[in-house]
Amino acid sequence: MQATFRIRRFNPESESLASYDQDYVLETQPSDTVLDGLIKIRESIDESLTLRCSCRGSICGSCGMRINGEATLACKTKVISMIADGGTLHIEPMKNMPVIKDLVTDMEGFWEKIRKVQPWLQPKGPEPKGEYVASSESMGHLTGVMGCIMCGVCVSDCTVLEVDRNFLGPAALAKSYRFVADPRDGNAKTRLFALNTPGGMWDCTRCMECVEVCPKGVGAMDRIMALRAKGMEQHVPSTCGSRHAEVFADIIRQKGVLDEPMLAVRTFGLGNIPQLLSFIPTMIQAFKRGKVPKIGIFHRAIPGIRSIQRIFREMRKSR
Amino acid sequence: MKYAFFPGCVSKGGCPELYQSIMHVYPKLGIELEEMTTASCTGAGVLQEKDQKLGDVLNARTFALAEQRGLPIMTICSTCQGVMSQANLRLKLDPKYLAEVNHVLAEERLTYRGTTNIRHFVWILLEDVGEQAIQQAVTRPLTGLRAAPFYGCYLQRPTEALGFDEQPSRAQSLETVIRLLGAEVVDFPGKSQCCGLPILTINERNSLMMVANHTSDAKNHGADVMVTPCPLCHLNLDGMQSKAENQQSTTINLPVLHLPQLLGLAMGLDSKSLGLHRNLVSPGSVLEKVGVEF
């Protein structure tokens, strides 16, 4: 079938430093991946096209790029799965990292964040005579996260990194979880305390972009949520992040449904006067428009709250 | 077309205009609703950070209550929909887990058999009400109005839980409805991204930057209005837009409507019935464009 590859080009050595789209029309086979097409272009149409690739089998993680608006591996994406005969594929470099040339991005920032979470085992106590033994049961849940091939696809489409380059990002946080949850690691608490800081585990919006685009099913956001749960279990110092989850659960236990103003007040803490005051203009604007959500004693529990409270008690007992 | 109606906390709290507008709109579409007054919050993904199983038990209770009535559930919130869809998938995929959850519900003489279908209003519009009936209900086509869709993460991901494979039209449901109402769709990259609300109290700067980016991006693409099926997105995109403008030292002023508000306008309802006076960014320019008194 015929396909147009519309590729975002950028050459740092050209006079104009603007990126531009260039179309290449080629015949593709039903078995062709997007990477096959790109290699065909480079070998027979335009040798200046620059891309990074190696294994062609979703193992090395080199060919991460955005195809039709979503980051993925070019070697794992069949042309036929993306467009009909005569259609156009939009191919761009990954986002949230500088572009070196065409489809090649600078991954240094990615690696720096991976290094920051100290991605190696840090056992405590005396060294065993043989190897560190861990049961299959205690390691089984880590197989998914250990499947990360560091392709950068999740980082490319992370919505928080778009607005804040200091955020550790899904790949580094998932990598951190891999060690926090490893029974052989003795440093989980220190790791969790380090993640309990701005740019760490509480800054994720839970948008699930990283879960959706990951070519290996790592489920980075789910790992970040698991880090938060472990952080609360380990009593990391209270922050707006941990208070938000704790208070949310407490309000549901008391009322069955959410008391939004109370959630905000208790999350910030009554001592956080500047933060509370900063919302007053918005609240006044809302009150003027007749938006007056009930708060505290005025916000009544749902009928059937006893059932909800019983469920909370039962679940606490079972933990 | 009868449903167990799950209004969600925000339509009864921070966005009363959503509840008000859906109450005026649904009878005109041949829909019947029985409100679930004893159902709890879904947990919104936040409760699940602390204890996912607790969230699943609470949601299974809601599903069982609907199952008892023999009704599918209708939601009007992307977050409620997504969280319940994910919980339902976990319960359906793992009979052992479902049995554990049912064990907790047993004291209330409730059992969830895994048969409850949970769907957002925007899906029901296309899958049950149908395009023809929607078009018939339109008495005031929104001709000339340029509307940017904003879905809310939970109505877009994860696709497995949301049934996109079985119902591929769900991925573009908002655009389809906008067109059926006679308005023009303004496509922009942020439509499926995060509104920023989940981190408003955690990292306000980032949250407000998301608001500013999405609303100004939609406006720069030519939108007169943004429309969302998620009241949580509305809380940030409408409610915090002015704060986001201050932070970014810019003027955006893009009205953000709940989906039933846009539908109601096309169905000839007046602005007061739709609670449009409650939106914080004034929808005056939108009403002027479609010829409705504000």
A267 to chain B: which residues are within 8 Å by CB? 201
Q: In this complex, which of A208, A303, A315 lies closest to B37 when CB atoms are compared?
A: A303
Rounded to the nearest angstrom, the minimum Cα separation between A245 and chain B is 6
Strands B256-258 and B225-228, bridge-based pairing? parallel
Q: In this complex, which of B153, B203, B277 lies closest to A207 when CB atoms are compared?
A: B153
Instruction: Kindly report the CATH number that applies to the domain delimited by A2-105.
Output: 3.10.20.30
Answer whether A284 touches B (CB < 8 Å). no
Could you give the residue ranges of the DSSP H alpha helices within chain B? 16-25, 47-50, 52-69, 78-93, 95-105, 121-124, 131-137, 159-162, 173-180, 204-220, 231-237, 241-248, 259-266, 284-290
Q: Which long-range contacts (CB under 8 A, 24 or more apart) does A186-189 make?
A: A186/A122, A186/A123, A186/A124, A186/A125, A187/A122, A187/A124, A188/A230, A188/A234, A189/A234
Going by the DSSP 8-state scheme, the letter that residue B202 receives in this structure is T
Q: How many CB atoms lie within 10 A of CB A296?
A: 9
- Domain ranges within chain A, ordered by starting residue: 2-105, 108-233, 249-318
A160 to chain B: which residues are within 8 Å by CB? 194, 199, 206
Q: In this complex, which of B40, B49, B108 lies closest to A225 when CB atoms are compared?
A: B49
Round to whole Å and give the CA distance between B54 and B43: 9
B157 to chain A: which residues are within 8 Å by CB? 207-209, 211-212
Q: Under a CB-based contact definition with an 8 Å cutoff, are residues B112 and B98 in contact?
A: yes
Q: Under a CB-based contact definition with an 8 Å cutoff, are residues A76 and A82 in contact?
A: no
Span B21-47, pLDDT tens digits: 999 999 999 999 999 999 999 999 999
Which of B61, B195, B201 best tests the A interface by mutation, with the highest count of A CBs <10 A?
B201
Q: For residue B75, what are the β-bridge partners? A: B6, B120
B216 to chain A: which residues are within 8 Å by CB? none
> Is the pLDDT score of B179 beyond 90?
yes
Contacts with A2 (C-beta within 8 Å, 6 or more apart), sequence order:
A25, A26, A27, A28, A85, A86
DSSP per residue, A219-273: -HHHHHHHHHHHHHHTTPPP-HHHHHHHHHHHHHHHHSS--HHHHHHHHH-TT-H
Say which amino acid occupies B284: G
Answer whether A294 touches B (CB < 8 Å). yes
Partner-chain contact B201 A267, CB within 8 Å: yes
What is residue B129's predicted lDDT score, i.e. its pLDDT?
Answer: 98
Q: In this complex, which of A228, A293, A312 lies closest to B13 when CB atoms are compared?
A: A293
Which of B206, B210, B279 best tests the A interface by mutation, with the highest count of A CBs <10 A?
B206
A308 to chain B: which residues are within 8 Å by CB? 40, 58
Percent of residues in chain B assigned helix, strand, coil, to nearest 5: 55, 10, 35
What is residue A313's predicted lDDT score, i.e. its pLDDT?
Answer: 97
Q: Under a CB-based contact definition with an 8 Å cutoff, are residues B227 and B151 in contact?
A: no
From B98, B155, B99, select the one nearest B124 (Cα to Cα). Answer: B155
Q: What is the ipTM of this complex?
A: 0.94
Round to whole Å and give the CA distance between A318 and B10: 31
A167 to chain B: which residues are within 8 Å by CB? 206
Q: Under a CB-based contact definition with an 8 Å cutoff, are residues A7 and A21 in contact?
A: yes
B194 to chain A: which residues are within 8 Å by CB? 159-160, 205, 207, 209
What is residue B252's predicted lDDT score, i.e. its pLDDT?
Answer: 98
Round to whole Å and give the CA distance between B149 and B158: 19
Q: Under a CB-based contact definition with an 8 Å cutoff, are residues A110 and A171 in contact?
A: yes
- Domain ranges within chain B, ordered by starting residue: 2-120, 131-290
Which of B17, B37, B50, B85 best tests the A interface by mutation, with the highest count of A CBs <10 A?
B50
What is residue A16's predicted lDDT score, i.e. its pLDDT?
Answer: 82
Rounded to the nearest angstrom, the minimum Cα separation between A58 and chain B is 21
- For residues A293 and B222, which has the higher predicted lDDT (pLDDT)? B222
Q: In this complex, which of A225, A257, A312 lies closest to B41 when CB atoms are compared?
A: A257
Answer whether A240 touches B (CB < 8 Å). yes
Round to whole Å and give the CA distance between A279 and B170: 36
Q: Which of residues 189-228 of A touch B (CB under 8 A)?
A: 198, 202-209, 211-212, 225, 228
Q: Which long-range contacts (CB under 8 A, 24 or more apart) does B158-166 make?
A: B158/A208, B158/A211, B158/A212, B158/B86, B159/A212, B160/B89, B161/B82, B161/B85, B161/B86, B161/B88, B161/B89, B162/B81, B162/B82, B162/B85, B163/B85
Round to whole Å and give the CA distance between A151 and A143: 17
Q: What are phi and psi of A212, to 5 degrees?
A: -70, -40
Determine the Cα angle at B276 with ends A258 and B232, to 5°.
30
> Is the pLDDT score of B253 beyond 90?
yes
Length of chain B in terms of residues written: 294
B41 to chain A: which residues are within 8 Å by CB? 252, 256-258
What is residue A270's predicted lDDT score, i.e. its pLDDT?
Answer: 82
Say which amino acid occupies B31: I
Q: Counting Cβ atoms within 10 Å, is residue B89 exposed (0-12), middle (13-18) or buried (19+)?
A: middle
Answer whether A245 touches B (CB < 8 Å). yes
Span B109-136, pLDDT tens digits: 999 999 999 999 999 999 999 999 999 9
Q: In this complex, which of A225, A240, A318 lies closest to B201 when CB atoms are compared?
A: A240
> Is the pLDDT score of B293 beyond 90?
no
**CATH fold of B131-290:** Rossmann fold (3.40.50)
Q: Under a CB-based contact definition with an 8 Å cutoff, are residues A164 and A132 in contact?
A: no
Answer whether A260 touches B (CB < 8 Å). yes
Cis check: omega of the bond before B158, within 30 degrees of 0: yes
What is residue B254's predicted lDDT score, i.e. its pLDDT?
Answer: 98
Q: For chain A of 319 residues, list the mean pLDDT of each consecutive stretch of 10.
A: 97 90 97 98 97 97 97 98 95 98 98 98 90 90 95 98 98 98 95 97 97 97 96 93 94 95 89 86 89 84 95 92
**CATH label, A108-233, candidates 3.55.10.10, 3.30.70.360, 3.40.50.450, 1.10.1060.10:** 1.10.1060.10
Which of A268, A279, A311 best tests the B interface by mutation, with the highest count of B CBs <10 A?
A311
Answer whether A59 touches B (CB < 8 Å). no
Q: Under a CB-based contact definition with an 8 Å cutoff, are residues A254 and A204 in contact?
A: no
Quick one: CA torsion of B130, B132, B137, B143, rounded to 10 degrees? 110
What is residue B186's predicted lDDT score, i.e. its pLDDT?
Answer: 98
A275 to chain B: which residues are within 8 Å by CB? 204
Partner-chain contact A160 B202, CB within 8 Å: no
Q: Counting Cβ atoms within 10 Å, is residue A270 exposed (0-12), middle (13-18) or buried (19+)?
A: exposed
Counted across chains A and B, CB pairs separated by less than 8 A come out at 170
Closest Cα in chain A to B83: A206
What is residue A294's predicted lDDT score, i.e. its pLDDT?
Answer: 82
Q: What are phi and psi of B288, to 5 degrees?
A: -60, -40
Class of the CATH domain delimited by B2-120: mainly alpha
A203 to chain B: which residues are within 8 Å by CB? 199, 202-203, 206
B51 to chain A: which residues are within 8 Å by CB? 229, 249, 315, 319
From A21, A26, A24, select the one nearest A9 (Cα to Cα). Answer: A21
Say which amino acid occupies A147: G
Residue that the structure tokens 């990360």 belong to: A148
B16 to chain A: which residues are within 8 Å by CB? 290-291, 293
